[in-house]
Copies of this chain bind each other. A is one copy, B any other.
Amino acid sequence: MTTLDDLPTPCLVLDLGILKRNLAAMADAIARHPGVRLRPHLKTAKSREVAALAAPGGGPITVSTLAEARYFAEGGWRDQIYAVGIAPAKLDAVAALNAAGADVKVITDDPDAAAAIAAHPGPVRALVEVDVGEGRGGVAPDSEALLAVAARLGPRLVGVLAHAGHSYAGRSPGEMEAIAEAERAGVVRAAERLRAAGHRVEIVSLGSSPTALHARSLAGVTEVRAGVYMFGDLFQMQLGTHGPEDIALTVLASVIGRKPERNAVLLDAGALALSKDRSTQAAPRDYGFGLMLDRAGRPSFGDAIVVRTHQEHGEVRGESGPLPFDRLPVGARVRVAPNHACLTAAAYDRYHVVEGGEQVIAVWGRVNGW
């Protein structure tokens, strides 16, 4: 029987009970909208074992890399959207997956890329990316560019897709609701304009974890995409989408130094093990590079924050009082809740799965890289 004491540190720990609860919460949120389906984004988990729970039966999924598309297609997930603007050189790989039985749809907001998709000899379909206020990729719902890109795609057009990434700057349920409604209205408006121009628009897709959980209406939408809700993290906790007990993913680390004179310990989880993500920096509570929990995953050290990282060192300081150094000798094992689960998980090739306790009940894989 493997326990947390037997694992090399740093490593990833995934709590199955919390994962299942987070999946159920999202399923409940989506079930309030009849006719709308969830297309989980696997960019966070990058794991077939997680996908088997989040998108059972080879259900529709979203991916962010060709490596994910290939890995999940070979694992039985046919219906995919590769939700990062396509570079034409990647179309051969997508078409090859589709020729072998998958249905990986790409996205674009560019007329030249649309022309390349239309001209590709293999089976490739695409959605037009619509900008609903994030200001990253996408054409505006009322733009001429929307019609131009769709016209270039011609019969390869399968739908429209929006991502309200700016929901991450929302600070209250009211703000999230407003952003969710603007996301819905924008993508539906784009779909209506394309239909009025004679196009067939099967898929009207939107999503981000906060807007998926906070949307009041999804009228006109066919599907919702979300990913980080599966694991949760400190940033999602600051957004109010997760409580502190809903963070399924943590990093198991060992104490490698003690500095009582500055109320600090050094961990063997640094910039590579946690990532340099600082998404809580502008949030109500700044968690530095993560929050130190005890080995059982409980917040029993108060506000013990990773304040500094070097490549393999993380320095934790007690921000709400003296650290209990008697419980933190060199070699002691602790867990760190991450700022941003997607980036922290990316440093690892596997999950050590627990269910509440210290026993490792499974090891699950991940597909990294491109």
Contact = CB atoms under 8 A, between A and B. Distances in A.
Interface of A: 8-11, 43, 64-66, 84-90, 93, 108-110, 112-113, 116, 135-137, 165, 254-258, 262, 266, 268, 271-273, 275-278, 308, 310-313, 315, 329-331, 342-343, 346-349, 368-370
Given A137-B313, A276-B275, A343-B271, A86 B369 contact: no
B268 A87 contact: yes
A258 B85 CA distance: 11
Contacts of A64: 311-312
Contacts of A370: 8-11, 273
Nearest to A64: B312
B369 A87 contact: no
Contact of A84 (B85, B113, B268, B348): B268
Given A85-B330, A272-B343, 14 more contacts: A84-B268, A85-B257, A85-B313, A87-B254, A89-B254, A109-B257, A110-B257, A136-B266, A137-B256, A137-B257, A137-B266, A276-B343, A278-B278, A347-B368
A89 B266 CA distance: 16
A295 to B, nearest CB: 13
B312 A65 contact: yes
A43 B312 contact: yes
**Overall SS of chain A's interface:** loop
12 contacts: A9-B370, A11-B370, A84-B268, A84-B312, A85-B256, A89-B331, A112-B329, A113-B330, A136-B310, A275-B275, A311-B342, A347-B368
Contacts of A11: 370
A277 B256 CA distance: 23
B346 A347 contact: yes
A25 B310 CA distance: 25
A123 to B, nearest CB: 20
Contact of A86 (B84, B256, B278): B256
A161 to B, nearest CB: 13
B276 A87 contact: no
A165 B108 CA distance: 44
Contact of A349 (B9, B90, B116, B369): B369
